[in-house]
Amino acid sequence: MNFADARKWMVDGQVRPNKVTDTRIIEAMLELPRHLFVPQHCIARAHADEDVPLGHGRVLMQPMMMARLVQLAEVREGETALVLGSGSGYGAALLARLGARVTAVEDDASLLSLARSALADSAMLAPGSVQLVEAPPATGAPAGPFDVIMLEGEVPAIPTAISDRLAEGGRLVCVCHAPGRSGAAVLGRRAGGAFSTTEAFDCTTAPLPGFAPEPGFVF
C-alpha cells in the first residue's frame, strides 16, 4: 500500500469536503503516518471513513471527525495542550504538528505501547513535543493550566475537575452524549474565570471509559 496516496485520498475525500478549512490541519494529516497509530491487523482500515478499533472498546476517531474537533480547538503555535484518553497517540501527534506542547494521558498499557512506537517513528514531530503520561484520563490528568484540552472519546458530561484545568482564554473540545440527547461535538471556553460550552455539530464516537455524568449537568 502506498500510504502517502492513502492519506491524500483520506484528506481529499473525507476531510476537505467536510468543512475543514484550516490548511495547517490538512497539511498535518497529509504528513502524519496514520497507519502507524493503529494495530498491525487494522492497517488496511487506517484511512477509512470510520472509527478504527484499537481494542478493549477504544477507537481511533474517524479522520473527518478528528479534523473537525481539532479545528474547533483553534490551536496556536506554542500553546500547551492536554489530551485525555489519548489512545494510540494520533490526536496528540496532530496537535503537536500544529505547534502545541502536548501532554497525552492514557491508562491502557497496550495503547501506550502503540503510541510510543508511532510517535518515535513519526519523524516530522519535534523530539519531546508529546509527553505520554500513564494515568486514568478522568482522574489522573496533570493540574495544568492548559490552553487546549481535548477528550479523545465520547463522554456523558464534562467534569468540573477537567474544565478547571483550562487556562484563561483556553478551549476544551470533546464529544458529549448525555442521556436523552443526541451526540454532539462541544466547544468549551474559559473567559473571565467562568467556563461555558456550546454545541458545534452532531457526532458520535466510542465512549471514553471512566467518565460518569455529574448530577444536574447541562450544556
pTM score > 0.85 for this model?
Answer: yes
In the predicted structure, residue 219 carries a pLDDT above the cut 70: no
Residue 217 included in any domain: no
Extract the C-alpha cell encoding 194. 467562568
Lowest mean pLDDT across 87-96, 109-118, 188-197, 209-218: 209-218
Residue 166 included in any domain: yes
Q: Say which CATH number the domain at 134 has.
A: 3.40.50.150
Residue 140 included in any domain: yes
Residue 213 included in any domain: no
pLDDT at 71: 98
The average pLDDT across 193-215 equals 87
| Domain housing 36 | 3-202
Q: What is the mean pLDDT of the chain?
A: 93
Q: Where are the strands (E) in the chain, listed by range?
A: 52-55, 58-60, 80-84, 101-106, 130-134, 146-155, 166-176, 184-191, 194-202
Strand partners, 106: 134
Residue 87 included in any domain: yes
* H/E run at residue 26: helix 23-31
Task: Tell me the pLDDT band of 171, cut-offs 50, 70 and 90.
Answer: very high
pLDDT at 215: 52
In the predicted structure, residue 119 carries a pLDDT above the cut 60: yes
Q: How many structural domains does the chain have?
A: 1
- For the stretch 55-74, pLDDT in tens is 999 999 999 999 999 999 99
Q: Which CB contacts under 8 angstroms, 24+ apart, belong to 115-118?
A: 115/37, 115/86, 115/87, 115/88, 115/89, 116/89, 117/36, 118/33, 118/36, 118/37, 118/88, 118/89, 118/90, 118/93
pLDDT at 181: 76
Within 13 Å, how many C-alpha atoms sit on residue 17's CB side?
Answer: 7
CA distance 163 to 68: 20
Residue 208 included in any domain: no
**Which residues are within 8 A (CB) of 105 and not within 5 positions of it... i.e. 6 or more apart?**
82, 83, 84, 85, 86, 133, 135, 136, 137, 140, 141, 142
Residue 209 included in any domain: no
- For the stretch 86-115, pLDDT in tens is 999 999 999 999 999 999 999 999 999 999
The average pLDDT across 208-218 equals 67
Residue 198 included in any domain: yes
